[in-house]
Amino acid sequence: MKVYGDIRSGNCYKIKLIMSLLDIEHEWIHINILKGDNLNDEFKAKNPSGKIPVLELDDGRYLSESNAIINYLASGSTYYPSERFLHAEVLQWQFFEQYSHEPYIAVARFIAKYLGMPEERREEFLSKQEDGHKALSIMEQKLSKSDYLVNNQLTTADIALFAYTHVADDGGFDLNEYPAIQRWIQRIQSHPKFHPMSE
């Protein structure tokens, strides 16, 4: 298997983390989106949207969208429950991550960390704070009652949300306000097969 991505990106880091937890051998091919590596014809033949990450299977097929990839990789393992309701709960949290969490926390981080907070995007950065904190508050409420997001066990729902949550401070979000999230982060980081995000 090959993965095309940038491990500093939360969406790409999800793939690295689940592959580490499952001991999946793979080749990592770095794609620099700031240099436009994802916009050339060769990359777009793999994913017409030009987005990372992309998983290339040994049979030559390609899969994009980070949560689809981690669910594919985790299928059949305890990280992706097959029971119908639990399966739907995983998807519920992953949709939450993509629509109510990532657009605020990840974008604020991108502006501050990747772009260095250019003045012309400062107002956009500030506009992300309220809804980012709203997403973190929802997670805090759940994690104050449960060790993990689904069925009190580590699943791809946690992997999806861990990626950008554990570096949310890069985007101006003070995680000291969320003790249950901090405990959850420590829980995941203490897994014997945990792989950190490379800086």
Please write the tens of the pLDDT for every residue from 104-140. 999 999 999 989 999 999 999 999 999 999 999 999 9
- Average pLDDT, integer, range 13-30: 97
Examine domains 2-74 and 84-189 and report if their fold is the same.
no
Residue found under tokens 């999806």: 160
Q: Strand 62-64 vs strand 2-5: parallel, antiparallel, or unpaired? A: unpaired
Question: What is the second-level CATH architecture of the domain 84-189?
Answer: Up-down Bundle (1.20)
- Average pLDDT, integer, range 47-61: 95
pLDDT at 54 over 60: yes
- Average pLDDT, integer, range 137-150: 98
Domain residue spans in the chain?
A: 2-74, 84-189
pLDDT at 199 over 80: no
pLDDT at 198 over 80: no
Which has the higher per-residue pLDDT, 155 or 115?
Answer: 155
Structure confidence at residue 106 (pLDDT): 96
Question: What is the second-level CATH architecture of the domain 2-74?
Answer: 3-Layer(aba) Sandwich (3.40)
